[in-house]
Amino acid sequence: MAQDNLSYYESESEGKSVAIVGVPMGLGSDERGLQDAPRYLLDHGLEDVIASIGAE
């Protein structure tokens, strides 16, 4: 069976619960748009990635 980068985490998180807390990260940064990162990750499949490693 081929291993991917998530193989280590798959055995550790099988059946465990995960909470996603969207915290804006733009305070004190010179970069614009960082505060949108939590929403971007959720909109682009973060929940699917977490579910794919066996977490709920």
Q: List pLDDT tens digits, range 10-53.
A: 566 567 788 888 887 777 778 888 888 888 999 999 999 888 87
pTM (two decimals): 0.59
Q: Would you say residue 2 lies in a domain?
A: no
Q: Would you say residue 34 lies in a domain?
A: yes
State the pLDDT at residue 29.
78
State the pLDDT at residue 14.
64
3-state helix, strand, coil in the chain (%, to 5): 45, 0, 55
- Extract the tokens encoding 16: 């465990």
State the pLDDT at residue 42.
92
State the pLDDT at residue 45.
94
Split into its structural domains, the chain has a count of 1
Tokens 């614009």 map to which residue?
Answer: 32
Q: What single letter denotes the amino acid at residue 26?
A: G
Q: Would you say residue 50 lies in a domain?
A: yes
Degrees to nearest 5, angle at CA 24 with 21 and 30? 150
Contact assessment for residue 38 and residue 23, using Cβ atoms and an 8 Å cutoff: yes
State the pLDDT at residue 16.
79
Q: Would you say residue 1 lies in a domain?
A: no
Distance between CA 41 and CA 31 in Å, rounded? 17
State the pLDDT at residue 3.
61
Q: Give the range of the structural domain holding residue 33, as residue numbers without chain letter.
A: 7-54
